[in-house]
Structure formats: C-alpha cells, structure tokens
Amino acid sequence: MLTNRTFTMIKPDAVSNGHIGAILGKIAGAGFRIVALKMTQLTKADAEAFYAVHSERPFFNELVSFMTSGPIVAAVLEKENAVNDFRILIGATNPNEAAEGTIRKLFATSMGENAIHGSDSDENAALESAFHFSATEQF
Ligand code: IDP
Ligand code: MG
C-alpha cells in the first residue's frame, strides 16, 4: 500500500491564481485516485516543520513565508508507482526547466512559487500524509 501513495499540496500561488480545478483535473486524468483532500492554511510552525529538511537553505524563510501566505489544497493520491509518476507529472522544481505539459510548466511562476508539491520518496509520502491527515481521513 505504502509504495502506491504520494502526498501533494497545491501551493498558495496556484490556489490564488484559480488553478485548483485544472490541477485536480490533470491529476485525475493521469490516473491518480484522490484518497484524502482538504483546503487549509499552514501556520508558520506547520511550514517550518513540514520543510525542516530545508531549514539551513538560504531560501528557507522565503519558502515558509510563501507557503503560509494563503490557503493550500492538500491531498493523498494513489496509483501504482505513485511517488515517481507524480514527480514526472509535476515537472522540475524550476518551472523554466520543467517539461512541456507538466503541472509546473503550465501553472508555476518561479522556482519558489512553483504551484505544487510532490513527495520525493515513499517514506516521506507516508510522513507528509500523516502530517496533514489522520488515518480515518485517508480512504
Ligand atoms: P521540490 O519541491 O521539487 O522537491 P525542493 O528542492 O525539495 O524541490 O525544494 C522545496 C521547495 O522549496 C520548492 O518546491 C520551492 O518551492 C522551494 N525552493 C527550492 N529551491 C528554491 C530556490 O532556490 N529559491 C526559492 N525557493 C526554492
Ligand atoms: Mg522536495
């Protein structure tokens, strides 16, 4: 089960730019089943904890400030090979380097404000899903 799930957030830029529906459509169209979904806003403490791995990076404060700047949509997605296939669907971190047709190519505006998050491993997918959803909220 673990290896078939990934975690995503539609980031504040894409929410405020009106792209929730289009992005969920791309996700569903690529064969992912939504098994948990909510709109929420991260507190500073939430964002610092979620991105703790980046706390020594020069962009950390910018990242926390951006991720708390407005609502996000968090979701858990299920599909065979979910983590890797979802990273392909979202594209490179820098939208200028993202492949044509990827979510970041279509909807991101910059390296920081890049529209969407995708877990980078099965282990992080499980941790990140549990950060946002209780067991009874994942179907
Ligand atoms: P990823 O989201 O593609 O996995 P990471 O390297 O894990 O990329 O970085 C996490 C997030 O931090 C990125 O999605 C982006 O929002 C932000 N970020 C990464 N590098 C930079 C940067 O150089 N400047 C500003 N923000 C950055
Ligand atoms: Mg990452």
Tens of pLDDT, residues 105-126? 999 999 999 999 999 999 999 9
What is the pLDDT at residue 126?
A: 97
Q: What is the pLDDT of residues 28-59, one digit of tens each?
A: 999 999 999 999 999 999 999 999 999 999 99
> Whose CA is closest to 115, among 18, 29, 3?
18
Architecture of the structural domain at 5-134: 2-Layer Sandwich (3.30)
Give burial (CB, 10 Å; 0-12/13-18/19+) of 112. middle
User: Residue 2 — very low, low, confident or very high, per pLDDT cuts 50/70/90?
Assistant: low
Q: What is the dihedral of CA 57, 3, 127, 64, to 10 degrees?
A: 40
Task: Look at residue 116 in the predicted model and tell me its pLDDT.
Answer: 98
Q: How confident is the model at residue 139 (pLDDT cuts 50, 70, 90)?
A: very high
132 is catalytic: no
Let me know: does 8 contact 74? Beta carbons within 8 Å. Answer: yes
Here the tokens at position 88 are 């392909």
- H or E segment and range at residue 135: none
Domain ranges of the chain: 5-134
pLDDT at residue 72 in the model: 98
In angstroms, rounded to a whole number, what is the distance separating the alpha carbons of residues 72 and 69? 9
Q: Which of 50, 96, 114 to mutate to test the pocket of ligand 1 (most atoms within 8 A of CB)?
A: 114
Ligand 1 pocket list (CB less than 6 A): 54, 59, 62-63, 93, 111-112, 114, 117, 120
Q: Whole-prediction pTM value?
A: 0.97
